[in-house]
Structures are given as C-alpha cells and as structure tokens.
C-alpha cells in the first residue's frame, strides 16, 4: 500500500478513525523507501525494526484514544540529529557507527508527539554543502531528475518528501540548507527564526547560524511540524523563551492588505530565466491575492556570502575540534604519538569540503588575521541585520528567489567550490540576520525542474509567513505535482 498522496492531517484522520493503522502506514513508508531509495540514496540509516515497534505502540495509543499531534505518523530526520540507539553519522566517516547516548530535544519532542522515526537522512557531510554530493554515504539524487542534485545540505530531507518516502522530515538550515533543497525538490521547507527551535542535540556546524527546520509536501504539514518542534529549551542558551503560537489556527488568514517587499538586490540581471519566470508569476499571484508589492533595498546583500563563509567556517573550525579520535568516532593511529593520531584520524575521517572549511575557519580566527576577517565579518553581520530591521519597518515580509538556478547536474560544480558557495546567495542573509524564511514551489523550469520562491518573515513571525505561503499554495497547484519514480 502506498500513502504518498496523503497529507499529515489526512493520515491523522485515518489513524484516529481506524481506517488505517500506524503499522500499515509505517510499513507502506518502509516499502516506498525500499522501492525508491536505490535511485535516490536519501537515507543513510533506515530503522525498520524500531519504527515498526514504535508503530505498534502508537496503534495501542490510538486505540486507547490518546492521539497526540503526530501519533503513528512516520517521519524521518537528517542524520545530524542525535538519536538514542540509532547511529548518527552526519554523513561523515569520522562518525561512522557513532551511536549517541541521548536524543536531541527536537527528537524528544517528535517522540512525545507520537511520531515514528523511520530513518536518518543523507546530507552533505556536517551540513557543509549545497548539493548533497559531499557525503561519505554517497551523493543524494533529485527525484525529479536523478542526474541532478537535490540541493543541500538537507538533501535527503527534501528528496525523501518529494519522492513520497515520508510525509515530512526535519533538516537544518545554516545558510539555506533546508530552503534550497526544498526548492530544488519542489517541496516546502522552513527555516525558523534563530532561537525558535532548540539546537540541543543537533550536531553543530555554525552555532550562531544553525537552525532546525521542517520539510513537508505542503504548507499546512510544514506548519504542523514546526509547531511540534518549536519552543524554548533550557538546555539551549540561545533558544528564546517566547510563546509558540498555534501555527494552524489562522493559517487561512490570507495576505490581503499585507505589504510584501521585493529587495532589489535579489533581482539582479542574469537571474536564470526559469527562476525569473516563476518568481514574476508568484509576484503577480500575490498582487491578485490582495497584497501590496513594493520594492525595498537590503544594501549590504553583496557582502553576505563573504561574511557568511567567514563566520560559518570560523565557528565550524572550533565546533569540529571535538572529532579528535580520543573519545568516540573512527580513530586512526599508526603509533606516531598524540599529534600523529590527531592528524591521521582527522585526515582520514573528514571529507575535502569539511577540511577546506576547517582550514579556512582556522585561518580566519588566527592571531593577526582575526580583526581583518572574523571581527570584520561580525561587523558586516550587524549591518546586514540592520538592513532587515529597516525593511521590516516598511513591509510585512519579503519575497525573493531561493536559488539563482534550478537544480544543477551531479558533478557539475564539484570542482568549483566558490561557484557552489554563491548558490546560497539568496538564502544566506536571513541566517545572518536570524530572521525566519521559507521556500515553497512556484513553478517548473523548461527541463521540468522545480522552482522555488522564498518568503522572508519578521523575527518570530512564522505564523504570518505561513499564512502568506498558504494563500499562495491555495491559489496554485505546483505543490500537487509529484515526480515519477
């Protein structure tokens, strides 16, 4: 049985009414993964036994009338979330077979809501990449065209939803890692405001930028998933103690009378014509839905990629120091002493992109360079944050492209890391500013590849942003298309 056309809410109704059991649903999901993952490589670990056991338990809860938000619903998470008893690899050789002794806060929240975790999703190693190619578990493929990348780094999180393997997933977004793959795979992905969702138990890439975000097939499911994981966590000092609204409650509020800004720096000459076409049509749709469209300016946009990569790599160089082979992970030691063990372990354990970023980050923090690089980048970050504060005094939200091009071919940019970094140009500024943003489907390229549109909301205004996304989704049918696999 396949259930890939069902939404979370539909599954929930069938489970509660007894039309469907969680075991059937979970088995269907596992079957779908088995049938399609050979082509996609979206999963690193599928936990069939654990999932079916949890599903059987969920069925008992359902039978007893104890249905929480996600009771019995199979989901999957990026392999960056620590999960008790199931390995957490971060798609890195250095964490091959690493099993965490604890669950991330977001995993606990999913479990508390009754979700069935069917597996751990493939990704760019340590979330470093925009294509899903930097994985020790092999590249992830785009369900719309398996010769193309699904985007990254939450590559499996987007591909699995697009292919109907699971109804929803969690990813992480440091510079666009939820939104860009969601865009390339034609699904909905959301990066919450920094501090909205706990980072505890999520393997850190760049601590001041990382944020957990849901991926789903439609806006309502995405809102539901966000509600399930959002909220203050005393174990994460950077999580913010402000109440979580019911994101589903006013989802249908519409956008009439809302002011949507188009930052002129995002509508540059040379934007891919397929992207331009999709975005222009989306702008027109919003106009028809009653929104007021105005041009605004985010003057420091040009500096955001440079600023982002300095900060992200500096933080990463420090965050990844703990992978030293001493306490866990794959140690390499040919007996050349302590430094030899460190060098061999880290040389063998990290992939090229991770090494590149550790080296660049280490350099940026080094004495004599710190002021010129890291400190300067922090100052620019403040300017970028101020840019957003200023435009949000003028408009309710922003509308931009997600990525400069649709999904590119596997291998196309592997030897051009700089070009790869530039593919995050439209998503990076919101991570620097800490505000919320999401990606939703707004068309297809001539080649039949999904094109995404990005909405950027005010800090902690996820509800308002989701309302605008929902209005657009109701007015279009892009989200209803599914790839043939």
Partner 1 sequence: MNSRYEVVIGLEVHVQLTTKTKIFCGCSKEFGQFPNSQTCPVCLGLPGALPVLSRQVVDDAIRAGLATNCQISPHSIFARKNYFYPDLPKGYQISQFELPICEHGWLDIETQESGKKRLGITRIHMEEDAGKLLHNDGGNSSVDLNRACTPLLEVVSEPDMRSSDEAIAYLKQLHQIVVYLGICDGNLDEGSFRCDANVSIRPWGQEELGTRAELKNLNSFRFIKQAIEYEVERQIDVIDAGEKVVQETRLFDPDAGVSRSMRGKEEAHDYRYFPDPDLLPLQVSDQWVEEVRQQLPEMPTAKRQRYQGEFGLPEYDAGVISAERPLTEYFEALVKIYDQPKICANWVMGDILGALKDKNLSIAQCPITPELLGGILQRIGDNTISGKIAKTVFEDVWKSGKTADQVIEEKGLKQVTDSGAIESIVDEIIAANPDQVAEYRGGKDKLMGFFVGQVMKASKGKANPGMANQLLKKKLAE
Q: Where are the beta strands (DSSP E) in 122-216?
A: 168-172, 188-191, 212-216
Q: Is residue 358 part of the contact set for partner 1 (CB under 8 A)?
A: no
Question: What backbone phi and psi angles, to 5 degrees, belong to 161?
Answer: -70, -45
- Which residues within the stretch 201-240 sit at the binding site for partner 1 (CB under 8 A)? 201-204, 206-208, 234-238
Q: Is residue 359 part of the contact set for partner 1 (CB under 8 A)?
A: no
Minimum separation from the CB atom of position 346 to partner 1 (A): 10
Determine if the peptide bond prior to 153 is cis (ω within 30°): yes
Host H or E run for residue 280: helix 273-288
Q: How far apart are CA 323 and CA 341, in angstroms?
A: 12
Name the DSSP class of 211: -
Q: In terms of residues, how long is the chain?
A: 485
Minimum separation from the CB atom of position 90 to partner 1 (A): 7
- Which residues within the stretch 92-121 sit at the binding site for partner 1 (CB under 8 A)? 95, 98, 100-102, 104
Q: Is residue 373 part of the contact set for partner 1 (CB under 8 A)?
A: no
Tokens of residue 476, six digits:
């279009």
Instruction: Say if CB 170 and CB 77 are below 8 A apart.
Output: yes
State yes or no: is 78 an active-site residue.
Answer: yes
Minimum separation from the CB atom of position 467 to partner 1 (A): 30
Q: Is residue 326 part of the contact set for partner 1 (CB under 8 A)?
A: yes
How far is C-alpha 74 from the geometric centre of its chain's CA atoms?
18
State yes or no: is 409 an active-site residue.
Answer: no
- Which residues within the stretch 260-319 sit at the binding site for partner 1 (CB under 8 A)? 314-315, 317-318
Instruction: Say if CB 264 and CB 277 are below 8 A apart.
Output: no
Instruction: Say if CB 161 and CB 217 are below 8 A apart.
Output: yes
Evaluate the CA torsion angle 148, 152, 153, 157 in order and state its sign. Answer: negative
Q: Choose which of 38, 49, 327, 418 interacts with partner 1 (CB under 8 A).
A: 327
Q: How many residues bind partner 1 (CB under 8 A)?
A: 44
- Which residues within the stretch 402-441 sit at the binding site for partner 1 (CB under 8 A)? none
Q: Is residue 61 part of the contact set for partner 1 (CB under 8 A)?
A: no
Q: In a 3-state reduction of DSSP, which class is residue 74?
A: strand
Of 100, 130, 177, 239, the active-site residue reads 177
Residue closer to partner 1 (CB basis): 146 or 238: 238
Q: Choose which of 24, 50, 292, 324 interacts with partner 1 (CB under 8 A).
A: 324
Q: Where are the beta strands (DSSP E) in 157-250?
A: 168-172, 188-191, 212-216
Q: Which residues in this chain contact partner 1 in the complex, by CB under 8 A?
A: 81-82, 88, 90, 95, 98, 100-102, 104, 199-204, 206-208, 234-238, 314-315, 317-318, 320-324, 326-328, 338, 342, 362, 365-367, 370, 374
Active site residues: 78, 153, 177
């Amino acid at each position: 049985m396949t259930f890939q056309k069902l939404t979370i809410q539909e599954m929930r109704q069938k489970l509660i009414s007894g039309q469907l059991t969680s075991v059937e649903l979970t088995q269907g999901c596992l079957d779908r993964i088995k049938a399609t993952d050979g082509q996609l490589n979206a999963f690193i670990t599928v936990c069939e036994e654990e999932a079916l056991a949890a599903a059987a338990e969920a069925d008992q809860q359902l039978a007893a009338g104890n249905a929480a938000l996600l009771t019995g619903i199979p989901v999957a998470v990026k392999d960056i979330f620590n999960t008790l008893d199931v390995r957490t690899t971060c798609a890195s050789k250095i964490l091959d077979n690493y099993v965490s002794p604890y669950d991330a806060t977001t995993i606990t929240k999913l479990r508390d809501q009754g979700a069935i975790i069917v597996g751990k999703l493939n990704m760019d190693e340590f979330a470093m990449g925009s294509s899903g190619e930097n994985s020790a578990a092999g590249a992830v493929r785009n369900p719309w065209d398996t010769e193309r990348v699904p985007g990254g780094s939450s590559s499996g999180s987007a591909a699995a939803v697009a292919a109907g393997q699971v109804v929803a997933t969690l990813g992480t977004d440091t510079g666009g890692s939820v939104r860009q793959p969601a865009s390339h795979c034609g699904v909905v992905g959301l990066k919450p405001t920094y501090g909205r969702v706990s980072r505890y138990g999520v393997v850190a890439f760049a601590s001041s930028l990382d944020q957990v975000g849901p991926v789903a097939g439609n806006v309502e499911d995405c809102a539901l998933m966000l509600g399930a994981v959002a909220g203050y966590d005393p174990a994460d000092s950077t999580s913010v103690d402000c109440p979580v609204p019911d994101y589903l409650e006013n989802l249908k509020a519409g956008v009439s009378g809302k002011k949507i800004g188009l930052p002129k720096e995002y509508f540059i000459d040379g934007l891919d014509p397929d992207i331009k076409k999709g975005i222009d049509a989306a702008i027109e749709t919003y106009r028809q839905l009653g929104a007021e469209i105005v041009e605004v300016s985010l003057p420091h946009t040009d500096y955001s990629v440079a600023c982002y990569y300095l900060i992200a790599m500096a933080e990463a160089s420090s965050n990844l120091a703990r992978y030293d082979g001493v306490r866990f992970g794959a140690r390499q030691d040919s007996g050349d002493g302590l430094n030899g063990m460190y060098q061999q372990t880290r040389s063998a354990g990290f992939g090229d992109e991770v090494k590149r970023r550790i080296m660049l980050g280490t350099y940026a923090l080094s004495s004599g360079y710190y002021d010129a690089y890291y400190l300067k980048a922090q100052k620019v970050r403040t300017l970028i944050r101020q840019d957003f504060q200023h435009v949000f005094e003028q408009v309710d939200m922003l509308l931009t492209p997600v990525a400069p091009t649709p999904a590119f071919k596997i291998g196309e940019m592997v030897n051009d890391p700089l070009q790869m970094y530039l593919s995050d140009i439209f998503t990076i500024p919101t991570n620097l500013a800490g505000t919320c943003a999401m990606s939703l489907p707004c068309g297809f390229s001539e080649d039949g590849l999904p094109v995404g549109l990005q909405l950027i909301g005010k800090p902690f205004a996820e509800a308002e942003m989701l309302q605008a996304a929902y209005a657009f989704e109701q007015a279009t049918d892009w989200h209803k298309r599914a790839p043939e696999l």
